[in-house]
Amino acid sequence: MTVLRSIDELAELNPFAVVGAGGGGEKFATLPTVEVVGIMDDDPSKVGMEIAGVKVTNDFDEAVEGASSVAIMLPKGAEHRALELAVESIRRGLNVVTSFRSLPLEDYPALVKLAESKGVKILELSPRLDVVREVAGDAPERCTEVVPKKDRPETEIPRVFVGGTSQECGKRTTTLKLAEGLEASGYTPATVATGEFAALEADVGFRAGSLSVMDVASAVAHAVDYVAEEKDADVIIVEGQSSLTERRNPHPRPLYLGILLGCAPDAVVVCHRPNHPFRYPRGVLAEVNALRVIVPDADLAAVCVNPRNLEEPFETYARRLRAKIWRATGEQVPVRNPVEESEKLARDVLRTIEGAGRGGARC
């Protein structure tokens, strides 16, 4: 397999026909060393649009007229079409540049042999994991972006995201206790766990941190729709991981964001552990403000406090936190101990869902 290592290599293969008029195709067509004579896309809505001064066509013959090489920049999921066009290009004596997303050459050694037999070049636009291995000491053996893309859940069942101000602040417990509270109140919950411990108890669960960051949102959206089909639920609860705002721990924060976006919540519960012994949360208001930017249409249902390290009575702390939130936002937000107040928490969530978009406390 030949990996494309520099844009200078592309200059030797000009002029190009580009297959795929999406983001990847546009980026390729506008590289400074690339000359494009044709762009092709099967999507009728893209035909006639102009990229890099070239109009998009859906006719392969028209696109490759005058080209020496074909760049196949199709998204993941278009593997069959990418392979089909790569073979056709090689048979016509054209060089080929593929994308690891839709046509990783290590999976198609016969394609490399076909190119060699025809005396043409075939190069792969690679994720360059070899560079990661060199600079960091280790890396996955291959690209781990594999989950079919899904922008958001399709189900209309209300969704609640359980976030927090740090790791180990009570998200798992709150997810499960909220489900118990809903059941005790006569409602049917479904739970989606995103950590290995909650996955042992949830209706569907997996460790989201084991996925490529590009796959997290899609995996969560798929999980939400899966559990919606498997269980006739009134509410779907999605467990978050880490925090958007926690200090000194940047690694899982993109994970939190992916879960949040994949959930596309109607309501949010924020968990907090005061006096955390080994994490550094910025606090409830910082988290709420960050959530407002990411999911402005979601409503804040409650704040759940993990009292494990409290140095004062829970009610004293809860009153102070409620007042602090009210002074900053003008909203009266319930503060709960999810273990002892699961049914009250459930009612907070139900009220928020029923009033979603009609003046609730916005995230």
pLDDT value of position 356: 63
Q: Does 154 fall in a domain?
A: no
Q: Which residue, 104, 136, 168, sits at the end of a domain? A: 136
Shared domain check, 164 and 35: no
Shared domain check, 92 and 46: yes
What is the tens place of the pLDDT at every residue in 174-199?
999 999 999 999 999 999 999 999 99
Shared domain check, 43 and 192: no
Q: Does 147 fall in a domain?
A: no
pLDDT value of position 311: 96
Shared domain check, 30 and 124: yes
pLDDT value of position 2: 84
Q: 248 falls in which pLDDT band (50, 70, 90)?
A: very high
pLDDT value of position 359: 44
| 189's tokens | 């919950």
The pLDDT of 302-314, averaged and rounded, is: 98
Of 275, 268, 282, 240, nearest to 348 (Cα)?
268
Global pTM reads 0.88
Shared domain check, 264 and 118: no
Shared domain check, 199 and 88: no
- Count of domains forming the chain: 2
CATH number at residue 105: 3.40.50.720
Q: Does 326 fall in a domain?
A: yes
Q: Does 148 fall in a domain?
A: no
| 208's tokens | 């989201």
User: What is the domain extent for residue 270?
Assistant: 159-354
What is the tens place of the pLDDT at every residue in 58-79?
999 999 999 999 999 998 889 9
Of 246, 316, 315, 302, nearest to 276 (Cα)?
246
Tell me what the pLDDT averaged over the chain comes to. Answer: 95
| 215's tokens | 């796959």
pLDDT value of position 84: 98
Q: Does 363 fall in a domain?
A: no
Shared domain check, 126 and 183: no
Shared domain check, 112 and 73: yes
Cβ contacts of 73 within 8 Å, gap of 6 or more: 18, 19, 20, 22, 24, 25, 27, 28, 99, 125
Q: Does 120 fall in a domain?
A: yes
Q: Does 315 fall in a domain?
A: yes
Shared domain check, 108 and 249: no
Instruction: Give me the phi and psi of 361, to 5 degrees please.
Output: -75, 110
- Output the CA torsion 107→109→111→117 (10° steps): 170
CATH number at residue 267: 3.40.50.300
Q: Does 240 fall in a domain?
A: yes
Shared domain check, 165 and 114: no
Shared domain check, 98 and 168: no
| 22's tokens | 């999406």
pLDDT value of position 280: 97
pLDDT of 22 over the 60 cut: yes
Q: 363 falls in which pLDDT band (50, 70, 90)?
A: low
What is the tens place of the pLDDT at every residue in 152-177?
999 999 999 999 999 999 999 999 99
What is the tens place of the pLDDT at every residue in 316-349?
999 999 999 999 999 999 999 999 999 999 999 9
Percent of the chain clearing pLDDT 70 (strictly above): 98
Shared domain check, 338 and 189: yes
pLDDT value of position 38: 98
- Output the CA torsion 178→183→184→187 (10° steps): 110
The pLDDT of 45-51, averaged and rounded, is: 96
